[in-house]
Amino acid sequence: MSIQFAGKINPIVKSTRACNILRCGVSAGSGDVRKYLQSGATIPVQDKIILASSSPYRKQLLDRLRLDYQCHSPGIDESIHIGELASDYVCRLAQAKAQAVARQHPAAVVIGSDQCALLDDQILGKPGSHQQALQQLRQAQGKTVVFHTGVCVLNLARDFCMVEEVPFEVEFRRLSDRQLEHYLQVEQPYDCAGSFKAEGYGACLFSALRGEDPSALIGLPLFKLTTMLESAGIEVV
């Protein structure tokens, strides 16, 4: 299996943009947010980092940065809009997750992330069941699947918002149904977009990986996130 972490794929990067408070879903007249914005108070953001996710995989990735943080589940609607591009979809959900948690914690630096897989112009999400996972893996046989991961760093108190998208290509081997069934029985990746765990036994499904950040494939692009956190005032190194 060949692994390339740069070069062949052209990254699709969402433009970094300032986040308007109204667009973030908090009204300009909201008491707590207005007080923070008007006071200019110094906030100990190093102790106020929140991962807007209940995913154990994203938590394991964020642990690598050795930051003090909390996890809060955003509980948002993750439905795909009609005609929505994969890159737009993951960026919208990453920002929506961060916003949902930031409304309750406006002084915190909140991290939101979302991922989907794109195969034959079809967006694939988490399979949720054995049969759906088997169908996804059958579809991917001998093909290249692009995994799109969106990440958002949001701090309402400082009116700070960055959203980025990181793609990663996975080329699948051709395997028999017996081999696919065996893989699914062993790893049961039913809560993973694309129906595999790249950091585990799922490596046996691939013939090549192409992208800039291998952590993006697991669900949280640490290379990009590190620079975003630093822009938000968090010292990672």
pLDDT digits (tens, 9 = 90+) for 180-221: 999 999 999 998 888 888 878 888 999 999 999 999 988 999
Of residues 114, 120, 121, 213, which has the active-site annotation? 114
Residue 191 appears among annotated catalytic residues: no
Contacts of 196 (CB under 8 A, 6+ apart): 137, 183, 187, 189, 202, 205
Quote the tokens at residue 7.
């070069």
| CA 151/CA 162 separation, integer angstroms | 8
Least confident of 18-22, 74-78, 107-111: 18-22
What mean pLDDT comes out for the span 92-103? 96
Does position 44 have pLDDT exceeding 60, yes or no?
Answer: no
| CA 91/CA 6 separation, integer angstroms | 22
In contact, 102 and 108? CB cutoff 8 Å: yes
| CA 210/CA 100 separation, integer angstroms | 33
For 36-102, the DSSP string reads HHHH-----GGG-EEE----HHHHHHHHTTT---EE-------PPPTT--HHHHHHHHHHHHHHHHH
What was the pLDDT predicted at 213? 93
Q: How confident is the model at residue 50 (pLDDT cuts 50, 70, 90)?
A: very high
Is the four-CA dihedral 224, 229, 233, 237 of positive or negative sign?
Answer: negative
Q: Which residue bears the tokens 């694309």?
A: 194
Does position 33 have pLDDT exceeding 80, yes or no?
Answer: no
Average pLDDT, the chain: 82
- Strand, helix or coil for residue 4: strand
DSSP E strands in 101-177: the ranges are: 109-119, 122-124, 144-155, 160-172
